[in-house]
Chain A
Amino acid sequence: MTGPRTLAACAALMLAPATSVGASEFGDVARGAEFWKQCRTCHRIGPNASNKVGPNLNFIFGRVFGVAEGYRYSKAMTAAGEEGRVWDLDQLDAYITDPRGFLKGTKMTFKGIKDPQERADVLAWLRENSDNPSDIPEAEPTAVGTDHSVDAAILAIAGDPEYGEYLSSECLTCHRADGEVDGIPSVIGWPDEDFVVAMHAYKDKVRPHPVMQMMAGRLSNEEIASLAAYFSALGQ
């Protein structure tokens, strides 16, 4: 449930013209916290939040598009920021309804949330936490694994970027070297650990995509580490 602080913070936002029905209603923070677990696969929030597969979401309300420091955005997101577009409740609501419909070329491959109540819930949670990152319940948001647990010994393997470069040529038949997104996600510039965890999730058939399960299934732990090393450096 929303506390007084949140209500105060929202007053300013509500002055913005409401163009979306979903965005004008307050959601349930507790339900939103549950949903946030999906977002956390790629996004972090909090005092130590770093950019992961997606940018950190600290101070997202009122933030200009495409400005999280050190994050490599799609051309589309950067261009929108240069136009001066700002994330408000309506913009965020429209974005998470259908990310690629809202901003063609975005790297966010999340399919979107069709249910207005679910969107309202997760935005309520985000609003509750974004502008006051020190209040976030998780003490170490960046230290938590993503969506799959991988043995520490595997995460510790140092990859050979030269080997990764050769192996990467297989990936680049579909994934683009320039990081642009068009129906197939970007794999450029991910933190090494997130890359390794995601690939092992495919290898262990926890993530569902059949092509990626097949591709990851034949890669050794060292090969995955080498790919992670190569692709993360490519994003620098």
Chain B
Amino acid sequence: MKLNRRHFIGSSAALTATLAAPVVWGDSHGKPKVVVIGGGAGGATVARYLAKDSKGGIDVTLVEPTRKYYTCFFSNLYIAGFRDLMSIGHTYGTLAADYGINVVHDWAIGIDRDARTVTLASGSVLPYDRLVLSPGIDFVDGAVPGWDVSTQGAMPHAYKGGTQAELLKRQIEAMPEGGTYCMIAPPNPFRCPPGPYERVSMVAHKLSQTNPTAKILIADPKEKFSKQALFEEGWETHYGGMVERLGPDFGGGNVSVNAADMMVDIDGEVVKADVCNVIPAMKAGRICEMAGVTEGNWAPVVPATMQSRLDENIHVLGDSANQGDMPKSGFAANSQAKVASMAIRGALTGSKVFPAKFTNTCWSLISTDNGVKVGATYEATDEKIAKVDGFISQTGENADLRKATFEESVGWYSGITADMFG
């Protein structure tokens, strides 16, 4: 499907009209149609809330290529052996059976914004009144020289859930005694800011039990990272000497790899890795670019509704959106989905619209029963989703509190997955 930016220019008049008089669909038009692309924390949630709250008044189609969805959140716990793979896999049967959502396992490969249609890899075409894009992330080509999709088998990213996480886990289990696990950490902004560092903690936990002389080396282009004091305290206390991080001052931002030889070049120093976990720079899921709703790497949105700033018939949720202060997390995508659902129902069915509220909390596990968290609340301003208030776990907290925080994260996992998949 051919797309270009002129589609947007033609629609600015329509935007004015829409704001002046929300369209309320009558029977003569049939039910309004919403197509959701991406069945993760943003997409599954918005599909479920649209179907549930419109009580069948909106025809909802969810396009998600995988039949079983493995969450990225808790995949680090899987790598460490705290969860099994089954427990982080979810299917879409309840959304189809109990909520009447048309779940289509296919890839969206084109969007015609004038005709308001989505073309699928199978060749089918889906019309929409509103389109929701929640495709997560893709990687920036050439971000780590020597690494691309053809080498992700040798050097997994394990940053999209499922197969790659299984692969990384097996590679860690097969490391030689005293071997080196190397992580190439991504630059900002990226999905799940504490994610790479929780992963390091979980890999260290696993290695300290099975391969205690192994080393973990992080090459990091960032000066600072999320929950840094908490992670560094935990690494020192529980995995003393195992974890070494090279920040930008030590060349952590100047990295290339040679997957065939498992060599990592960090600012001219060449290291032989036994496992190399490359997490490249990220951008919005490719379908956003194909829809022409990106500026730079991400898709800018109107905070109060999560509508694309480039097309008012499209909403962008979660990691792909450039929205302001919220981190790219499953919790944030789930929160944004509820705001978008309310806005879409308001526009298509005339239901009541309340002020947008957003929340995020990210839990991380550092060692057994040692959970920490960071969170904030947000509001919609004209320019961005702006932080209102927040909190973070403290260093030196007692074991009971850390255990309670971990238990809370387990409860959250059960809560959010019930909220996504019904």
Contact = CB atoms under 8 A, between A and B. Distances in A.
26 contacts: A162-B352, A165-B53, A166-B342, A167-B357, A170-B338, A170-B357, A172-B415, A173-B419, A174-B361, A174-B408, A174-B411, A175-B415, A177-B418, A178-B418, A180-B414, A181-B411, A182-B415, A183-B409, A184-B408, A184-B414, A184-B415, A210-B375, A214-B375, A215-B377, A218-B377, A218-B388
A174 B419 CA distance: 9
Contacts of B415: 172-176, 182, 184
B215 interface: no
A178 B414 CA distance: 12
Contacts of A167: 354, 357
Interface in B381-422: 388-391, 407-412, 414-416, 418-419
Contact of B391 (A163, A176, A180, A211): A211
Contacts of B410: 182-183
In the A-B complex, the 6 residue pairs with the closest CB atoms: A183-B411, A184-B411, A169-B338, A183-B407, A210-B391, A182-B414
Nearest to B393: A210
B49 A169 contact: yes
Given A172-B415, A210-B391, 15 more contacts: A170-B338, A170-B357, A174-B361, A174-B411, A174-B415, A175-B415, A177-B418, A177-B419, A183-B408, A183-B411, A184-B415, A210-B375, A214-B376, A214-B390, A218-B357
A214 B354 CA distance: 20
Contacts, number: 76
Chain A, interface residues (CB within 8 Å), range: 20 to 34
A188 to B, nearest CB: 12
A174 B49 contact: no
Interface in A210-236: 210-211, 213-215, 217-218
Given A173-B416, A178-B418, A184-B408, A163 B354 contact: yes
B402 to A, nearest CB: 13
Contact of A173 (B359, B377, B407, B408): B359
Contact of B414 (A162, A166, A176, A210): A176
A63 to B, nearest CB: 28
Interface string B334-375: 110010001000000000101001010100000000000101
Contacts of B342: 166
Contact of B412 (A170, A174, A180): A174
Contacts of A215: 359, 377
Contacts of A184: 408, 411-412, 414-415
B335 A170 contact: yes
A180 B411 CA distance: 10
A180 B413 CA distance: 13
Chain B, interface residues (CB within 8 Å), range: 20 to 34
B235 interface: no
B331 interface: yes
A211 B373 contact: yes
Interface of B: 49, 53, 331, 334-335, 338, 342, 352, 354, 357, 359, 361, 373, 375-377, 388-391, 407-412, 414-416, 418-419
A94 B228 CA distance: 41
Nearest to A181: B411
B391 A173 contact: no
Contact of A176 (B331, B373, B408, B418): B418
Interface string A164-203: 0111011011111110111110000000000000000000
Given A167-B357, A182-B411, A183-B410, A211 B375 contact: yes
A182 B410 CA distance: 7
Contacts of B338: 166, 169-170
B254 to A, nearest CB: 39
Contacts of A210: 375, 391
Contacts of A162: 352
Contact of B361 (A169, A175, A211): A211
A173 B373 contact: no
Contacts of B53: 165
A211 B359 CA distance: 10
A161 to B, nearest CB: 12
Contacts of A180: 414
B72 to A, nearest CB: 16
Contacts of A163: 354
Contacts of A165: 53
A218 B414 contact: no
A210 B363 CA distance: 13
Nearest to A166: B354
A174 B391 CA distance: 17
A221 B11 CA distance: 41
Contacts of B361: 174, 211
Contacts of B416: 173-174
Contacts of A169: 49, 338
Contact of B419 (A172, A181, A182, A213): A172
A181 B335 CA distance: 21
Contacts of B334: 173
B389 A217 contact: yes
Contacts of A181: 411
Contacts of B418: 176-178
Contacts of A170: 335, 338, 357, 359
Contacts of A178: 418
A225 B288 CA distance: 40
A213 B357 CA distance: 16
A170 B388 CA distance: 15
A211 B334 CA distance: 17
A221 to B, nearest CB: 16
Which of B342, B407, B415 has the most chain A CB atoms closer than 10 A to its own CB?
B415
B365 to A, nearest CB: 13
A184 B414 CA distance: 9
Contacts of A176: 414-415, 418
